[in-house]
Each structure stands twice: as structure tokens, then as C-alpha cells.
Amino acid sequence: MGPVKADQRRSCVRPPHLDILWLPRAAMRSVEGDPSDCVLVVGVSRPKMALAILAVMLVSLFLTFHMLYDSALHSFQASNMEHPRPPLLLLSRRLYPAAARRLPQAIIIGVRKCGTRALLEMLYLHPMVQKAAGEVHFFDRDENYNRGLEWYRMKMPHSYPGQITIEKSPSYFVTPEVPERIRAMNASIKLLLIVREPVTRAISDYTQLRTHAAATAATASTAIPTAPPRAFEQLALVANGSINEQYRPLAISVYHNYIHRWLEVFPREQILVVNGDLLIEDPVPQLQKIEKFLGLESRIGTHNFYFNETKGFYCLRNETSDRCLRESKGRRHPRVDPYVISKLRKYFGEHNQRFYELVGEDLGWPEE
């Protein structure tokens, strides 16, 4: 090895414009053979410069991640315009304030056994609707209402601005305190009231109560004898053959006894009466009325439904799946004596007329 090369190896000089260290390779190797004169030692000799470089690197990484996330979120929303949902990953609300839990702008207030669950699931087909899971029972149960609106808000789903959050609790309709409590939360809220022909609703109510009673008896001790379930006719009529007005399934079907409370608190234009019988037979026209009532673009159509011959009612369809309501929905009703049905329809005739007058709409329910 020549004297010049050896001298270079002993005297590598750090370039003046870089704040890094260069050392002779001989200082790090004892074996010759590599033609390189000097080696770069990873490190920074000035602490302030090191901090500056580290800060620039961190900011660059953050901005890169931010851009990638924003791009992914945009793609996610664009690919799900048919039914946008909140992103799976949310950064701070300062950066992404759009998705949040909001108090409902619309509530399905009842009526029990008139198709409240079906209505909610059908409305959920619309890309601008978000629904609460389950029945919240905030306004009708004191133990929940006393927890406050923040507790209620946390029961709502995440939604984007422009989407409508909806919840349903059928017992709202028949609970006296509920109208005032809802108005205290939002005086301009939209209310959906779904009703069915009163006798059909009462029989459906009876069927559910009987099913629940049978399930409870099956899980009870076999040592305790249980009375056989009474027929609907026995419960709907008293011994002298008159209507049992105290029987709960019949009492709930007298809709005018409850709607007047709501009309004392809310203007009629904030309450939409949905015909549950027509919703079952042909859902699209009823849903289009609701879309207009809620101020939504018409998006739900015949492509969202298919008739299930086995179940005997319409099931739901979107771009990714087909589904029906759970087995407890659409139970077969027991056969009821036609004489009792005729008697009940005559009884409800006057009550129905009073309901029609209050809501300003004749639903055309049979009176015989």
C-alpha cells in the first residue's frame, strides 16, 4: 500500500457542510482488503441539529399518514354511497368531527304489534338513515329518563351530517309522560306512528303474549302446574258476551285515547300516520311517503324487496345481502271465531271514526 493511500486512511476529513462524522476505515477494521478509504458513521454530532431532524421526520410521517387516511376515508365513503356508514377508524374529533352520536331527529312512537321493527329496518335501507339498536325506552321509563340526555345520546349510532338518526320504542305511544318529555328534548322532531286495523293488531298482541307465556312456562319448574292458555275469544269477551274493554290488547287498539295527548303537544304536521297494513302488502308507496315527510331523497324502491313465499311477507334486499326479519316477526295468528271478529269490528267502528277525525285521515278499516 502506497504512502499516499495510507495517509488518506489516517486523515479522512468531515465535509464542512455536513454535520456528520467520517472516520478512517482503519479505525474500525483491522483487516485490509476493502478499497474504500472512509466510512460514514451513523449519528449526528450536534444535539440541536439532531432534534430538528427528528422533528422534521415525525412531522413528515404524521402528514403522510394523515394524507393516506384521508384518501382511504374518501374512497370508503365514495364506495359506500349507497349506504354510507361511519368509518371503522376515527382520529380525534378535531380532525374528523363528522361522525358522531347525535340525538334522534325522528322517532317511531308506536303502535305495538303494528310493524314498528319492520318499519325501522325498511327505513334503514336508505343511505341517509341511521338506526338505534334495540328499543331504548328512554322517555317511558323513569330509571332511564333520569339518567339524562347524554345517556340517551350514547345509545344512538354514529352518523354523518345530513343523516337522520331514528329510534323506536312502541310503548312511547301509550305512556302519558312521553309527549312532553320528547318536546323538551326537541320541539321540532318528526314522529312516525304506524297503526294497523285494530282487531288484527289485538289478535297479534294476544299471539305474542301467549307465545311469551308459553316460553316462560317451559322454563319454569315442572313441579308447578300451569293453567292452559285461554283463547282470544275468552279474553276479549266477558261472561255476558260484551266487549272486555279492560283487556290490554283491545285497549291499546283504541288509538284515539292516546293520539289526543300527542296532538296537544305537537302540531299535526310533525306526526305522520303510517298504514301498517299497506306497509306489509306493498311497502314502497308507504316508504316513499315517509321519505318525503323526513325530507329525504327518494332512494328506496322495489329493488330493495322480495316476497318470501315461505314466510308470506316481504324481505329486505340491498347490494350485499338479502334478509328477513327474525322468526318472531310475522307469527301465524290463531283462528278466531268470525262472530267475535265481527263483534269487535263493530265495537271499534266508532273509535276508529274518532281517530280518523283527530288525524284528518280515513284509513278505511272494516266495521263488520
| Cα 89 from Cα 294, distance rounded (Å) | 29
CA gap 169, 157 in Å, rounded: 16
C-alpha distances (whole Å) from 291 to each of 13, 75, 106, 170 are 77, 27, 12, 20
Q: Which amino acid, one-letter code, is at 354?
A: R
What residue numbers does the annotated binding site cover? 113-117, 196, 204, 314, 329-333
CA atoms of 182 and 177, how far apart (whole Å): 9
> Alpha-carbon distance 360 to 267, whole Å?
12
Neighbours of 342 (CB within 10 A): 14
The rounded distance, in Å, linking the Cα atoms of 311 and 325 is 10
Active site residue 113: yes
Which residues participate in the annotated binding site for 3'-phosphoadenylyl sulfate?
113-117, 196, 204, 314, 329-333
Those residues with Cβ within 8 angstroms of residue 50's Cβ, 6 or more apart along the chain or in another chain: 44
- Give helix 256-265 / helix 338-359 axis angle, nearest 10°: 20
Orientation of helix 256-265 relative to helix 178-185, angle to 10°: 30
Residues facing residue 225 across a β-bridge: none
Write down the catalytic residue from 113, 168, 190, 343: 113
- Residues carrying an active site annotation: 113
